[in-house]
Amino acid sequence: MNNRERFRATMHYQPRDRSPLLDFGFWDETFVAWYDQGLPKEVNAFNSHEFFGMDFSLEFAGVLSGVEVGLLPPFEARVLEDQGDREVVQQADGVCVLRHKAMSSIPKPVSRLLTDRESWRKEYWPRLDPTTADRYPADWDDAVRTWTDPNRDYPIFLPGGSLYGWLRDWMGMENLALVLYDDPAWFEEMVSTSADCVIGTLSRVLETGGQFESCNLWEDMCYRGGPLISPVHFKRFLWPHYRRLADLLHQHGVDVIVVDCDGKIDGLLPLWLEAGVNCMFPLEVGTWGADPVRFRKQYGRELHMMGGFSKRILASSPEKIGREILRLAPLVEEGGYIGFCDHRVPPDVPLANYIFFLETARKVWGKDIGLKPMGELVPVSSARRRGGQAA
């Protein structure tokens, strides 16, 4: 089977030769740490999936459509102040942040353009026009041929945008929480505008007859204690627009709708499913102990999942890694689930552990069927023997 067929079969509980082998990605600092442990310096975020023998890159599959549903034009990304090892920059979303030059940790917001109705109408509302030509590939005819090609051997994921996560980033979590109570009509306007932009953009794409393997949203609207927005507000303001998007996608044969949300998602998961968003990713395990096996028992095959392999287990020992791979094996075999790290792999995971994870997952989940070769430049067995140091 090719990558497209395998992904489709897995997400529809259909027979396939094996599970797809994927990963979410890596922190930049992880590569830096792994270079000292024997990883060739040619390996980076753009080619790591090839080096590690993954079937394809989740991130690349998410941009292959060539469709943009976010802010257009983006704000000018520029450095506002150089502070030595840190700098104040304006991001493409208009938020000014203080960030470390050599670290990929979440930067600290310094100021925001979106503060009130006036700034919303002036700075953000015009950038969410679904008719903006730049939302679509420059070579439209070529893109349509790719989208509609029945023999395409790789998956393409549509961008689903965001209803809450974008606003939280643009305005700040505390300010957005206050708007929910102080001016709910304005909150609803911002959510509706974001949804209209996504739905309007995707409508034109889907009307071409293009075939897509999923539509992927990003929200990050939960933390270790639960959701950042109450289920009551979720149902009132967000649910109707998720449902609108899901109905559009279903009309055009896209029935795998993914939400990327970190944190404890338990309180919102049933509402997402009810609204038609049916695949949870990256299933962060966290201190609250999320578990894909438990979720499958609770929600059955209605729920699709990707991720859910604890980064803490990856950082622990080969024995624990092996046990977790075997524990998840029946779920992998059932389908509707693709196992990999519950977020981007952090730098405290030794290279030797990650290689062991890959080797074992390839045997147990991949059944040694049709696998890409892993990189020749790292002597796998000796790297594992010597704690990650290449021989």
Residue type, 201: T
Query: Peptide bond preceding 150: is omega within 30 degrees of 0, i.e. cis?
Result: no
Does residue 129 share a domain with residue 276?
yes
Residue 286 inside a domain? The answer is no
Does residue 260 share a domain with residue 123?
yes
257 φ, ψ to 5°? Answer: -120, 115
Q: Give alpha helix (H) positions in the chain.
A: 3-11, 28-35, 48-51, 58-63, 117-119, 140-148, 165-171, 173-182, 184-206, 231-233, 239-251, 269-275, 292-299, 311-314, 318-334, 351-364, 380-385
Pair of tokens at residue 235 = 């149902």
Residue 141 inside a domain? The answer is no
226-261 CB burial, b ≥16 within 10 A, e <16? bbbbeeebbeebbbebbebbbebbeebebbbbbbbb
Residue 144 inside a domain? The answer is no
Residue 355 inside a domain? The answer is yes
Residue 50 inside a domain? The answer is yes
What pLDDT sits at residue 376?
54
From first to last of the 391 residues of the chain, give the pLDDT tens digit: 999 999 999 999 999 999 999 999 999 899 999 999 999 999 998 899 999 999 998 888 888 999 999 999 999 999 999 998 899 999 999 999 999 887 667 789 999 999 999 999 999 999 999 999 999 999 999 999 999 999 999 999 999 999 999 999 999 999 999 999 999 999 999 999 999 999 999 999 999 999 999 999 999 999 999 999 999 999 999 999 999 999 999 999 999 999 999 999 999 999 999 999 999 999 999 999 999 999 999 999 999 999 999 999 999 999 999 999 999 999 999 999 999 999 999 999 999 999 999 999 999 999 999 999 998 544 433 333 333 333 2
Residue 119 inside a domain? The answer is yes
Strands 226-227 and 96-100: unpaired
Does residue 120 share a domain with residue 37?
no
Does residue 271 share a domain with residue 371?
no
Asked if 217 and 280 count as a contact pair (C-beta separation under 8 A), the reply is no
Residue 202 to residues 45, 58, 130, 218, Cα–Cα distance (Å):
28, 20, 9, 16
Residue 289 inside a domain? The answer is no
Rounded distance, CA 76 to CA 74, Å? 6
Question: Could you tell me the pTM of the whole model?
Answer: 0.92
Does residue 80 share a domain with residue 55?
no
Does residue 245 share a domain with residue 164?
yes
- Domain final residue, candidates 247, 281, 315: 281
Does residue 118 share a domain with residue 207?
yes
8-state DSSP, 60: H
Asked if 163 and 239 count as a contact pair (C-beta separation under 8 A), the reply is no
Rounded distance, CA 315 to CA 346, Å? 9
Residue 273 inside a domain? The answer is yes
Does residue 381 share a domain with residue 315?
yes
Does residue 388 share a domain with residue 378?
yes
Question: Which residues lie below 8 Å from residue 129, measured CB to CB, with a gap of 6+?
Answer: 72, 197
Rounded distance, CA 268 to CA 283, Å? 13
Query: Peptide bond preceding 159: is omega within 30 degrees of 0, i.e. cis?
Result: no
Residue 236: CATH number of its domain = 3.20.20.210
Does residue 307 share a domain with residue 338?
yes
Does residue 236 share a domain with residue 87?
no
- Indicate the angle between helix axes 351-364 and 318-334, nearest 10 degrees: 30
Among all chains, which residue has been given the structure tokens 């700040």?
172
Rounded distance, CA 379 to CA 133, Å? 49
Number of domains within the chain = 3
Domain interval for residue 83: 76-112
Length of the chain as a residue count: 391
Strands 279-281 and 304-309: parallel
Does residue 317 share a domain with residue 259?
no
